[in-house]
Amino acid sequence: MLIAILLIPFLFHDSFASVATKNSPLVVQESRQKFKVSLKVFEEQFQNPTKELKTFSFSPSMENGPFSGIKVNRFSTKCRLPLFGIQEEDTIESINGTPLRLPTDIYEIGRQLQKAKAGHKIRVSIYRNSKTITNTYLLTK
C-alpha cells in the first residue's frame, strides 16, 4: 500500500536524483518520465508507512470532476516523493490504468501493487500544468 501512496504519487525535488543505500540507489531516473525502482532498497527504507505519510500532505482533487485524483499539496524536507518525479501541486489521476475516482481506489491500487515483482512496470498518470503526463517505473531487484 505504501508504494501506491508514494507513487501517487507520487514523486521529486531534484530532476535526476537517486538515494543510495549500500551502493544501491532506491530510484534512478533514466529520462524525464522513466524511472527504475529497487524493490530491495524500497523494502529496506520504507519500513514505517505512517512515518512516510507524514512527510507530505495530499487531498482529493476536484478539478476535473467530483473526484479526479489525489493532489499532492506540500512536501517536508524529508519527503522522498520528489525522487519519483512527483512535484508539489501534481494530481495523481491513475495508476496502471486504474483511475483514482474514489478515496477507496487507493486501497485497491495498493492491494494490486503488493503483488508487483521485479520486472513489472507501474504507470502513473499525473495532471500537471493543465496536461496529463505518464511516469513509468520499472521495478528491479
* pLDDT bucket at 2, cuts 50 / 70 / 90: very low
Closest CA to 68 of 102, 31, 35: 102
d(CA 93, CA 74) in angstroms, rounded, equals 17
- The set of cell numbers assigned to 53 is 505519510
Q: What is the pLDDT of residue 23?
A: 56
Q: Decide: 48 and 110 in contact? Cβ < 8 Å.
A: no
2-140 carries CATH number 3.10.310.10: no
- CA-to-CA separations, 99 to 31, 95, 104, 114, in angstroms, rounded: 24, 7, 11, 18
d(CA 98, CA 109) in angstroms, rounded, equals 7
Instruction: Quote the DSSP letter at residue 19.
Output: -
pTM of the model: 0.79
Residue with the bigger pLDDT between 19 and 55: it is 55
